[in-house]
Amino acid sequence: MKDIVKKISTHIMIQAILAILFGLFLILFPQTTTMAMIYLLAGFLAVIGIISLISYGRNKGESNFVDSDLIAGIFQLLIALVMFIFPKTVAAVFSLLLGILVMLNGVLNMMRGLEIKKYGGRNWITILILNIIITIGGLIIIINPFASTVTFVLILGILLVAKGIADLVSYFLFTNTVKKEQ
């Protein structure tokens, strides 16, 4: 039993330290992290694009299925190239799409709040106010999408640090409880 407790507590401690370290990296370098993720994805697409082209070259003419390797390889390499050349634009496009979805969701829910009012519901004003805030948040993301992406990475870093601290607290509470019971 003592070995299992030690393994569990060691695992919790390692997980906590890694979460804190990774979170701090995201907090200290949110732009670098965002760009690195885009470059890693672009590199991945380039590699699988090259593999698709090699597969096409080796198996050309054997079936129509192989021809899809040519199309896939070219497409993957083109996307990778665009990501390497315009990484900030790629990050902004992801955020822009997210901003549009958030804004549309806010507007639709505002309409639902007004419907609730129409049918005599009491909490319609709360729903309306919350969704006005959500809609404004979506607009902010649309207006400055790259900054929104960096902010998301920053918030993710803060959450990871908080998770790591919570894991450390759990570790110390767990080990102290086990020591008291022994």
Confidence grade of residue 2 (pLDDT, cut at 50, 70, 90): low
What pLDDT is attached to residue 124? 86
Give the three-state DSSP class for 130.
helix
Domain that holds residue 95: 2-181
| pLDDT of residue 163 exceeding 70 | yes
Q: How many domains are there within the chain? A: 1
Which token pair is 125? 């004003």
Distance from the Cα of residue 73 to its chain's centroid: 26
> Phi, psi at residue 61, to the nearest 5°?
85, -5
Confidence of residue 5 (pLDDT cuts 50, 70, 90): low
Note the pLDDT tens digit of each residue in 20-64: 999 999 899 988 988 998 999 999 999 999 998 998 888 876 766
| Coil, strand or helix at 61 | coil
pLDDT of 74 > 70? The answer is yes
Tell me what pLDDT residue 65 has. 59
List pLDDT tens digits, range 107-157: 998 998 888 888 787 888 998 999 999 999 889 888 888 788 888 888 888
Query: Cβ(148)–Cβ(99) under 8 Å?
Result: yes
